[in-house]
Structure 1
Amino acid sequence: MAKAIAYTFILVVALCVSAGEVTSTGSPTDFVRSSCGATRYPDLCFRCLASYAPAVRHSERQLARAALSVSVDRARSASTYVARVMAGAKSGNAKDAGAVKDCLENIADSVDQLRKSAEELDRLGRVGSADFTWHMSNVRTWCSSALTDENTCLDSLSEHCSSAVRSTVRPKVVEVAQITSNALALVNRVWSK
């Protein structure tokens, strides 16, 4: 009887690990906090994802999906904010207006890349294991591209904007880049499982 229980336990653990789930005896909130510890900005990660803990439970994949969703939402919000700044910059310094326009285009590209990453991660639940590598490669590539777009925006602001415009836009874009960096780290955890 004890051997049967031990065998069942081992089988359940193996199935959970192979399904991309993390076996954990802690609460879902503890799981989110622990997973966020592997990111570059763990406090920001936890603040953004703690409310998803009940839905995520102990799933690496669901946590990565939530992180991508937060990234998309924050990038869209930053895009709206940058567009408002651009409207004000048009009447001022042409150099500021050009840099903000470039930044806005990069953020729009970032939103698209993050959205595609989230959709592709959703497909993982519907594909066979043979397709896992291909789909995860897409997710990682698009998420990485989004981060590159965000950093390109920051570079443009640093090089071409007045300090007034830079100090207005930069904090929003930095936060989006940090959230995207965290999402990429959580996606990479799914990849490594």
Structure 2
Amino acid sequence: MAKTTLSLLPLILCLLYISGTAASANFIKASCSATAYPAVCVQSLSVFATTIQKSPRQLAQTALSVSLARAQSTKSFVTKLTKFKGLKAREYEAIKDCLEEMGDTVDRLSKSVLELKRVGKARGPDFLWHLSNVDTWVSAAITDGNTCMDGFAGRAMDGRIKTSIRARVTNVAQVTSNALALINQFAAKY
């Protein structure tokens, strides 16, 4: 009898793990349904289901970290574009301006990640103050992306560079918008 129980232990543990992961996935899906880009939200956060579990705080923290990682990747991509040969002067200036905006985005999101961690230790007015900082910086990061794309306005700027930057900046804006929504969901529970 004891051998049978021991041989079933790995199966039981596996079923518990799968059950917990499914519950986490459902929590993520339900939480993402209230964001502006639910499919992007689920896609970007599902891989972290075991970390997130069913914690609104961890969900918000993870969403913000994903946003930061995408912003850093986009900044690196734009940095590489500044080294392209044969850029028109206007393209180069737009890329340079975009790089500055993406640098600001990375800075604001980095500060937001740290500030959101401080929220966990805060109570009352301190909680609201830290959360207000996060809200302000994340909102500003979204604006930075829009400002980046302003430099590529007009038909003269149409082309592969604009298209590739737009795709990456749009993705950063979407995951950042979702992170902000999830942060606000978390805040509403406390």
When the two structures are superposed, what TM-score results if normalisation uses the length of structure 2? 0.83
Matched residue, 2:78? 82
2:122 pairs, out of 116, 119, 127, with 127
Q: Does 2:46 correspond to 1:57?
A: no
Cα deviation per residue 1:54-77 (whole Å; 9 max; x = unaligned)?
A: 111111111010001000100000
SS in structure 2 of the partner of residue 92 of structure 1: coil
SS in structure 2 of the partner of residue 158 of structure 1: coil
SS in structure 1 of the partner of residue 151 of structure 2: helix
Runs (5+) with no aligned partner, structure 2: 1-21
Distance 1:63 1:99, change over 3 A: same
For these two proteins, the number of residue pairs brought into alignment is: 167
Amino acid paired to 2:75:
S
Distance 1:104 1:161, change over 3 A: farther
Supply the distance in 2 between the matched residues of 1:147 and 1:127 (Cα, whole angstroms): 26
CA drift at 1:158: 2.4
Supply the distance in 2 between the matched residues of 1:158 and 1:70 (Cα, whole angstroms): 28
Larger radius of gyration: 2
Supply the distance in 2 between the matched residues of 1:145 and 1:62 (Cα, whole angstroms): 22
SS in structure 1 of the partner of residue 36 of structure 2: coil
Distance 1:113 1:101, change over 3 A: same
Matched residue, 1:13? none
Matched residue, 1:31? 27
Amino acid paired to 2:57:
R
Distance 1:125 1:188, change over 3 A: same
Matched residue, 2:89? 94
Matched residue, 1:169? 165
Cα deviation per residue 1:125-177 (whole Å; 9 max; x = unaligned)?
A: 22233311101000100100100101111222224862122112111111111
Runs (5+) with no aligned partner, structure 1: 1-25
Matched residue, 1:186? 182
Matched residue, 1:154? 149
Matched residue, 1:68? 64
Compute the RMSD of aligned alpha carbons: 1.5
Supply the distance in 1 between the matched residues of 2:105 and 2:119 (Cα, whole angstroms): 21
* % identity of equivalent residues: 43
